[in-house]
Amino acid sequence: MHYPNISFGYKLKKMAFTLKGELAIVGKVSTKSGEIEVSRSKTFLNGGTLSFFVEQRIHHNKVFIIGLKDNYVKFYWPTWMLFSTFNRFYHIPELYISWIL
């Protein structure tokens, strides 16, 4: 999968914000069960995402990031929806937490 993306950031005194938009492009999907290839698809637009992140220090100079992401996609690899038999888009929100140690 490919995620061409563009981000815009803004930094305050003690906090930074990022707004990021991505396209989700699937280069190839091939699902197999044992030797049998169940399905195959060529390059297609899987959808897009929009996310917003806030970064700030939590302790000494360690940075903590919290973000919210909306995936508007057909196939979402972390879950079963990679194997959907339907031609539909879904909104799948993610909460993102990151701690730079």
**Any contact of residue 61 with another protein (CB under 8 A)?**
yes
- Quick one: 15 or 43, whose CB is closer to another protein? 15
**Any contact of residue 52 with another protein (CB under 8 A)?**
yes
- Size of the chain in residues: 101
- List binders of another protein among 64-93 (CB under 8 A): 64, 66, 68, 78-79, 85-88, 90-93
CB within 8 A of 82, min separation 6: which ones? Answer: 29, 31, 75, 76
**Any contact of residue 100 with another protein (CB under 8 A)?**
yes
In whole angstroms, what is the distance from residue 83 CA to residue 85 CA?
6
